[in-house]
Amino acid sequence: MPQYCWVLIVPALTSLGKGRQIYGSPPMLKALWFSIKDINMTKFLRCKVLVAAFLFSSVAANAEPASPESIKALMQSTGSGEMGMQMMNQMLPALKQMIPSAPESFWTDVMSEVDANDIEDMVIPVYQKYLTEEDIQAVNSFYQTEAGQKLIRVQPTIMQESMAIGQQWGQNLAKQVLLKYQKQSSSKP
């Protein structure tokens, strides 16, 4: 008598919140039934891996997306909420060079019309693409600790020094590549 194996797949975890449904509702039960004699062990193991991946993706897909409010709280606590104004302040000298005849009152007026929240609102979907509400809450909690506050204070300096080191490393690497090429091209007949 052949042995049979049931592989149950129960991914239909009702909803993702905000009324979105996944795999239907109420939860559907799917099952695969096959004879172990009909497949070899490699195929059986592949099937188990696929089922595990399917179940894992169902749980991940069911995670609550990060809310715009919690993302904005994160951006404000880390200072990245001021990104729009920082970007505008960096762009202003170049803009002034493009329109040198514009009076200072023009630039004051332009700056007063800039809404820094625009860039925040544009960035929120990027955070939501990669982080769940649980992730954002955990990060926000960390940034409220003493260590989190210290990281916020020193991170710009760490980034600045790291970029300088990276730039030096890149220059040294470029020199090595050029020297290697020169040696190889000069040694060829």
Nearest Cα residue to 9 out of 40, 50, 46: 50
pLDDT the model gives residue 28: 39
Angle between helices 133-143 and 146-187 (to 10 degrees): 100
pLDDT the model gives residue 97: 94
pLDDT by position in tens, the chain (length 189): 444 444 333 333 333 444 443 444 334 334 444 444 444 444 444 545 454 554 444 445 568 999 999 999 999 888 887 777 888 888 899 999 999 999 999 999 998 888 878 888 999 999 999 999 999 999 999 999 999 999 989 988 999 999 999 999 999 999 999 999 999 888 877
C-beta separation of 66 from 132 below 8 A: yes
- CA 78 – CA 154 distance, rounded (Å): 11
pLDDT the model gives residue 134: 96
Q: How many residues does the chain have?
A: 189
C-beta separation of 148 from 81 below 8 A: no
Q: Tokens 């060829």 belong to which residue?
A: 188
pLDDT the model gives residue 156: 87
C-beta separation of 140 from 73 below 8 A: yes
pLDDT the model gives residue 74: 93
Please enumerate in sequence order all residues whose Cβ is within 8 A of that of 82, keeping only pairs 6 or more positions apart, or say none. 116
C-beta separation of 10 from 4 below 8 A: no
Tokens of 171: 């220059």
- How far does Cα 102 stand from its chain's mean position? 40
